[in-house]
Copies of this chain bind each other. A is one copy, B any other.
Amino acid sequence: MRIVVDAMGTDAHPAPDVAGAVQAARALGDEIILVGDESQIKAELAKHKAAGLKLEVVHASEVIEMTDKPAESAKHKSNSSIHVGTQLVADGKADAFVSAGNTGGTLAVSTLYTLKRIKGVLRPAVTVVYPLGVKKVVVADIGANTDCKPEFLVQFAIMASLYAELALHVERPRVALLSNGEEAEKGNILVKETAALMLTMTAINYIGNIEPKEVIRGHADVIIADGFTGNVFIKMYEATTRFVTDVVREEIGASPITLLGGALSRPAFQRVRKRLDPFEVGGAPLLGVNGVVIIAHGRSNAFAISNAITRAKEAVESGLVEAIQAGVA
């Protein structure tokens, strides 16, 4: 298997991206193609013991920055690492693409210029797999489509359910619509209309509406939302998690006694951090794109990038793209 990694992806690129690629090449034994500024990548690679690993470098002269507008940069930066990388997949020269860069840019380049959409897919969705509460859940869409029609959400459900089942090996994934209450009469118009359609979809294990506290309790495996609500939802989780852990740290540091207590409790806090760590998953696919594209967080470290590469391998091996083709047909 050949997996392309965007070396210019993370906020601190190319160090975490290259280090993650080296880790994954070692762990998986697969071929990794690093795409981006060749001299920067090579300088970074020189810091690692990469001899014997299947690592290749492909030059790309431009970078779509985090601050770039997706549609514009997709159009004008046709030599970006995202363009060059996804084109390798489109041309059959690689099996998957992984990037921690501008999500909107990756989406725009993939769907409009290189890989295109899977036939029949109305809108692709940005996905995340998150240790959201007691278990990992798949959430889609978290930002590609701020305004949705019910038909879009039904397709997100089909695609995300297939991903959970085939790549993450969740048996008959429970799919729920994110809402302001669990009762069938709750929801905005979009949720209510989507719910009516979902009931006709026998291929999906649809369990109804879900509200945040039930998500946290692990009552569903796949959470479906429009990209606006899904984005606010996931960002609120990230921001609140960080805030609460910061408050705990601050208050423990406020007196010598509690500081001592905190020192004794350190192993517990390490376990807390591990349980809340989004980087253990590393990334999740752009669903609906005609090829495996894994999106990682801009703040990813090498560990996260390496895990995102594993997610790419799983997605390719699971036959996700082909299953979505059949599923939306």
Contact = CB atoms under 8 A, between A and B. Distances in A.
Interface of A: 69, 133, 143, 146-147, 178-181, 185, 187-189, 191, 211-213, 215-216, 226-229, 231-233, 235-245, 247-248, 251-252, 254-255, 257-258, 260-269, 271-272, 275-276
Given A227-B180, A244-B241, A276-B247, A252 B268 contact: yes
* Central interface residue in A147, A228, A238, by most chain B CB within 10 Å: A228
A212 B232 contact: yes
19 contacts: A178-B232, A211-B232, A212-B236, A212-B240, A213-B235, A213-B238, A215-B239, A216-B243, A233-B233, A248-B269, A248-B272, A251-B268, A251-B271, A251-B275, A252-B265, A254-B268, A255-B267, A260-B264, A262-B265
Give the oligomeric copy count.
Answer: 2
Given A147-B188, A233-B233, A236-B237, 10 more contacts: A69-B185, A188-B228, A212-B238, A212-B239, A215-B239, A216-B239, A247-B275, A247-B276, A254-B268, A261-B264
Nearest to A248: B272
**Chain A interface mostly helix, strand, loop or mixed?**
helix
A141 to B, nearest CB: 11
A181 B254 CA distance: 34
Contacts of A185: 69
Contact of A180 (B187, B235, B255, B275): B235
